[in-house]
């Protein structure tokens, strides 16, 4: 308490004590004088004065802060109270149901079944109440030793292990102090060399992500390679304890220095009380030439902290992790659905771009504006919208198509597309390149840009974004104008559209020549006066 407050309290109490003596003396005289005439009035006056004195003392004490402000503390407690586990479970349950609806939209049956199995497992965790603890860290930090020590020291039944060393070994523990069952998993070590080490590390990270509580084990100050995954797990809301193991290798002063450094490094996401010391597998000490002493295991602080967290935060940890896992599963489902929609939209774009290319190659348009309008097919817009669950009528599709067609012209995309196609055709072996071929391939190219623009539009809930339709079209044109892509696109167009048209025309011409030859020879090497070939040509 500050010195100024102590002085104020002493002075205040002295004044109050002096006033009390004065009041007692004054009240005694006043009471004697009034009591001669009216005893009742004298008693009432004394009562009023005593009440006023008590109120004055209470106000003085309250002002100095000697008594706690209950209303303020109550407000603070309410402010710091987390959401009730029941509310979190309800949110998690709703999230899981939403995820199931998303998973039902996935067309790949194998993937769909796998995600449904995950959602059912998450849903089952809502009712079991089993707390999953993952022991995470490098292989040399003593993770397995810590798990074995915890199993040996904890009071409760230990069931048979599940899993293997490469997949992570899991033990089922019933800890009376925590009033719940605990699944503790010894995950594969991280930061191991080679491809197998990378695979095991990925599995370890996955197990740590799925756990309700994380025990991160280190044997010294954290290296950058250890700090990064620990921070990453904390960033997604993973509750963690940092265990400084193998303390028997350090002096007490060194232990305190390392603990202080660890607390400072992780202070942004792990509380100092959750940074603990342990000695899970102490090394034997040479006591004499003929005698070795085996020190005792020191993991009491870990067990106490683990039990305290299970009791106080167990329900919250379960609810938080269930919500986290359901959200991550939802993100995975949305990603798969997005990829699925892109594939379906690409098929639609592919179909319309080659249809448009064939039509325009046979009937070339006179101006670039009409080329852009023809390239953006309203029916294509409607079908892409249906892929993204946006029901559009033909009028709306037509309006969107016309709007994007005008944008293609105003930005010079049409002219640029024609120039790119003409340039790419110079490098082909085709000898039949004419204006209608350029227009046909250009129409296919513009249809692709338009289709990709609408994919972006529908994937953003029918919103062109902050930059509007102009920015979307420019971005898609930029992505599609790379030389390698344009050359491959033109060659594909020639194979799919132009060559079939050329073969058809060549066949028609050959048929016409053969027919004309037949007429010529039938007339005795003379066309005669009745030139029937004119009708055919």
- Indicate which CATH number applies to the domain containing 117: 3.40.50.300
Residue 344 lies in a domain: yes
Residue 529 lies in a domain: no
Q: What per-residue confidence (pLDDT) applies to 362?
A: 72
432 alpha carbon, distance to own chain's centre: 53
Q: What per-residue confidence (pLDDT) applies to 290?
A: 75
> For 142, left (φ over 0), alpha (ψ -120 to 50), or beta?
left
Average pLDDT over residues 51-56: 75
Residue 384 lies in a domain: yes
Same domain, 513 and 432: yes
Q: Minimal CA–CA distance to 425: which of 412, 410, 444?
A: 444
Residue where a domain stops, chosen among 271, 303, 332 = 332
Same domain, 150 and 282: yes
Residue 280 lies in a domain: yes
Q: What is the reported pTM?
A: 0.59
Q: Buried b / exposed e across 149-175, counting CB within 10 Å, b at 16+?
A: bbeeebeeeeeeeeeeeeebbbbbbeb
Whether the pLDDT of residue 68 is over 60: the answer is no
pLDDT over 90 percentage in the chain: 18
**Alpha-carbon span 133 to 136, nearest angstrom:** 10
Q: What per-residue confidence (pLDDT) applies to 349?
A: 92
Same domain, 419 and 441: yes
**Alpha-carbon span 125 to 119, nearest angstrom:** 10
Q: Compute CA distances 47 → 41, 44, 413, whole Å.
A: 10, 5, 96
Whether the pLDDT of residue 427 is over 60: the answer is no
9-18, 72-81, 291-300: range with highest mean pLDDT: 291-300
Query: Which pairs from 392-401 meet CB under 8 Å and 24+ separation?
Result: 400/454, 401/373, 401/376, 401/377, 401/450
Residue where a domain stops, chosen among 266, 299, 332 = 332
Same domain, 110 and 212: yes
- pLDDT higher for 362 or 537? 362
Same domain, 404 and 262: no
Residue 75 lies in a domain: no
Q: Minimal CA–CA distance to 259: which of 165, 267, 69?
A: 267
Q: What per-residue confidence (pLDDT) applies to 536?
A: 38
Least confident piece of the model among 188-197, 378-387, 454-463: 188-197
pLDDT over 70 percentage in the chain: 75
Residue 192 lies in a domain: yes
Residue 369's pLDDT band (cuts 50, 70, 90):
low
Residue 321 lies in a domain: yes
Whether the pLDDT of residue 531 is over 50: the answer is no
Residue 258's pLDDT band (cuts 50, 70, 90):
very high
**Alpha-carbon span 281 to 97, nearest angstrom:** 46
Same domain, 128 and 169: yes
Structural domain tally of the chain? 3
Mean predicted lDDT score pLDDT of the chain: 77
> For 65, left (φ over 0), alpha (ψ -120 to 50), or beta?
left
User: Within 10 Å of residue 436's Cβ, how many Cβ atoms?
Assistant: 16
Whether the pLDDT of residue 380 is over 80: the answer is yes
Residue where a domain stops, chosen among 38, 70, 102 = 70
Average pLDDT over residues 241-251: 93
Residue 528 lies in a domain: no
Q: Is the Cβ–Cβ distance between 184 and 192 less than 8 Å? A: no
Same domain, 287 and 139: yes
Same domain, 372 and 513: yes
Segment 205-234, tens digit of pLDDT: 888 988 999 999 999 999 998 999 999 999
Residue 370's pLDDT band (cuts 50, 70, 90):
low
Average pLDDT over residues 27-43: 70
**Alpha-carbon span 482 to 478, nearest angstrom:** 8
Residue 36's pLDDT band (cuts 50, 70, 90):
low
- Residue 29 domain boundaries: 3-70
N- to C-terminal Cα separation, the chain: 112
Q: Is the Cβ–Cβ distance between 145 and 283 less than 8 Å? A: no
Same domain, 370 and 511: yes
Whether the pLDDT of residue 123 is over 50: the answer is yes
Q: What per-residue confidence (pLDDT) applies to 156?
A: 44
Same domain, 351 and 416: yes
Whether the pLDDT of residue 72 is over 50: the answer is no
Residue 253's pLDDT band (cuts 50, 70, 90):
very high
Q: Is the Cβ–Cβ distance between 519 and 532 less than 8 Å? A: yes
Q: Buried b / exposed e across 187-202, counting CB within 10 Å, b at 16+?
A: bbbbbbeeeeeeebbe
Residue 365's pLDDT band (cuts 50, 70, 90):
low
Q: What per-residue confidence (pLDDT) applies to 308?
A: 87
**H or E stretch including 16?**
helix 3-37
Q: What per-residue confidence (pLDDT) applies to 506?
A: 52
Whether the pLDDT of residue 240 is over 90: the answer is yes
29-43, 67-81, 470-484: range with highest mean pLDDT: 470-484
Least confident piece of the model among 287-291, 325-329, 480-484: 287-291
Q: What per-residue confidence (pLDDT) applies to 4?
A: 65
Residue 165's pLDDT band (cuts 50, 70, 90):
very low
**Alpha-carbon span 160 to 172, nearest angstrom:** 7
Same domain, 36 and 177: no
Least confident piece of the model among 167-171, 195-199, 496-500: 496-500
Least confident piece of the model among 234-238, 291-295, 472-476: 291-295
Q: Is the Cβ–Cβ distance between 398 and 387 less than 8 Å? A: no
Q: Is the Cβ–Cβ distance between 173 and 151 less than 8 Å? A: yes
Segment 331-359, tens digit of pLDDT: 888 888 899 999 999 999 998 888 878 77
Q: What per-residue confidence (pLDDT) applies to 98?
A: 80
Q: Phi then psi for 162, rounded to 5 degrees?
A: -120, 140
Q: What per-residue confidence (pLDDT) applies to 5?
A: 64
Q: What per-residue confidence (pLDDT) applies to 66?
A: 46
The encoded tokens of residue 181 equal: 């069952």
What is the 8-class DSSP label of residue 461?
Answer: T
Same domain, 411 and 323: no
- pLDDT higher for 14 or 142? 142
Q: What per-residue confidence (pLDDT) applies to 326?
A: 80
């Amino acid at each position: 308490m500050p010195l100024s407050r102590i002085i104020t309290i002493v002075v205040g109490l002295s004044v109050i004590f002096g006033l009390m003596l004065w009041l007692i003396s004054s009240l005694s005289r006043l009471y004697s004088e009034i009591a001669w005439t009216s005893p009742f009035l004298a008693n009432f006056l004394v009562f009023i004065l005593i009440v006023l004195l008590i109120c004055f003392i209470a106000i003085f004490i309250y002002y100095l802060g000697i008594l706690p402000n209950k209303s303020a503390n109550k407000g603070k407690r309410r402010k710091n109270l987390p959401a009730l586990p029941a509310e979190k479970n309800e949110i998690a349950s709703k999230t899981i149901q939403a995820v199931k609806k998303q998973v039902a939209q996935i067309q790949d049956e194998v993937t769909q079944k796998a995600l449904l199995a995950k959602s059912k497992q998450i849903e089952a965790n809502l009712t079991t109440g089993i707390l999953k603890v993952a022991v995470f860290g490098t292989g040399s930090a003593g993770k397995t030793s810590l798990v074995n020590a915890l199993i040996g020291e904890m009071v409760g039944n230990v069931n048979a292990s599940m899993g293997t060393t490469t997949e992570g070994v899991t033990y089922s523990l019933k800890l009376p102090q925590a009033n719940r069952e605990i699944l503790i998993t010894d995950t594969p070590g991280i930061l191991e060399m080679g491809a197998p080490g990378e695979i095991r590390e990925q599995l370890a990270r996955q197990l740590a992500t799925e756990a309700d509580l994380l025990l991160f084990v280190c044997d010294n100050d954290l290296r950058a390679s250890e700090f990064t995954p620990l921070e990453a797990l904390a960033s997604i809301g993973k509750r963690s304890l940092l265990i400084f193991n193998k303390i028997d290798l350090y002096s007490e002063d060194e232990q305190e220095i390392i603990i202080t450094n660890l607390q400072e490094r992780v202070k942004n996401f792990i509380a100092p009380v959750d940074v603990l010391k342990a000695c899970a597998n102490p090394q034997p000490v040479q006591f004499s030439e003929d005698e070795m002493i085996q020190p005792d295991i020191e993991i009491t602080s870990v067990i106490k902290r683990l039990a305290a967290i299970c009791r106080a935060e167990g329900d919250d940890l379960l609810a938080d992790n269930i919500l986290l896992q359901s959200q991550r599963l939802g993100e995975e489902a949305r990603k798969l659905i997005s990829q699925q929609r892109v594939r379906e939209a690409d098929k639609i774009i592919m179909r319309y771009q080659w249809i448009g290319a064939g039509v325009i190659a046979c009937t070339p348009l006179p101006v670039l504006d009409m080329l852009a309008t023809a390239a953006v097919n309203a029916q294509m817009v409607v079908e892409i919208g249906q892929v993204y669950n946006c029901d559009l009528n033909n009028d709306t599709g037509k309006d969107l198509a016309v709007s994007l067609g005008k944008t293609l012209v105003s930005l010079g995309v049409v002219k640029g597309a024609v120039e790119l196609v003409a340039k790419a055709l110079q490098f082909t072996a085709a000898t039949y390149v004419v204006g209608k071929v350029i227009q046909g391939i250009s129409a296919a190219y513009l249809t692709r840009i338009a289709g990709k623009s609408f994919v972006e539009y529908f994937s953003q809930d029918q919103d062109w974004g902050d930059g509007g339709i102009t920015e979307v079209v420019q971005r898609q044109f930029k992505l599609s104008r790379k030389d390698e892509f344009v050359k491959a696109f033109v060659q594909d167009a020639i194979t799919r559209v132009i060559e079939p048209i050329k073969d058809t025309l060549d066949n028609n011409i050959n048929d016409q020549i053969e027919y004309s030859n037949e007429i010529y020879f039938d007339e005795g090497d003379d066309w005669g006066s009745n030139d029937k070939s004119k009708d055919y040509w």
